[in-house]
Amino acid sequence: GAGVSQSPRYKVAKRGQDVALRCDPISGHVSLFWYQQALGQGPEFLTYFQNEAQLDKSGLPSDRFFAERPEGSVSTLKIQRTQQEDSAVYLCASSLGNTGELFFGEGSRLTVL
């Protein structure tokens, strides 16, 4: 497809379980972003990459959160030892890098029981 693809679309995890969320950006997009969106809130910045370099991870809420983009294309957001407060939609966005327009995937909805 031509858009940003995220998987899984829905994930239910038991508290303490590790999860991995995948993002496949638009081909050729240099910049990739991860956001966390709780119900009724705006997207909260987590981290972003330019190619394979993680340039800012200041939004990651704890050291349980880890993101990588090893080959400058697909990215994975990993959450270890999930907690109930991690329940949210995780949005991935990509951009060509020369404008401020972000193209979002449909998100991965994580529910931690």
Separate counts of helices (H) and strands (E) for the chain: 0, 11
Q: Which residue in the set 14, 42, 70, 84 belongs to the binding site for other proteins (CB under 8 A)?
A: 42
Choices 9-17, 45-53, 62-70, 73-81 (CB under 8 A): range interacting with other proteins: 45-53
Q: Give the interface size with other proteins as a residue count (CB under 8 A).
A: 28
Exposed, middle or buried, 23 (CB in 10 Å: 0-12/13-18/19+)?
Answer: buried
Q: Which residue in the set 11, 31, 34, 75 belongs to the binding site for other proteins (CB under 8 A)?
A: 31
Give the separation between CA 96 and CA 40, rounded to whole angstroms.
29
First to last CA, the chain: 33
Interface residues with other proteins (CB under 8 A) are: 30-31, 33, 35, 41-45, 48, 50, 55-56, 58-59, 91, 95-102, 104-107
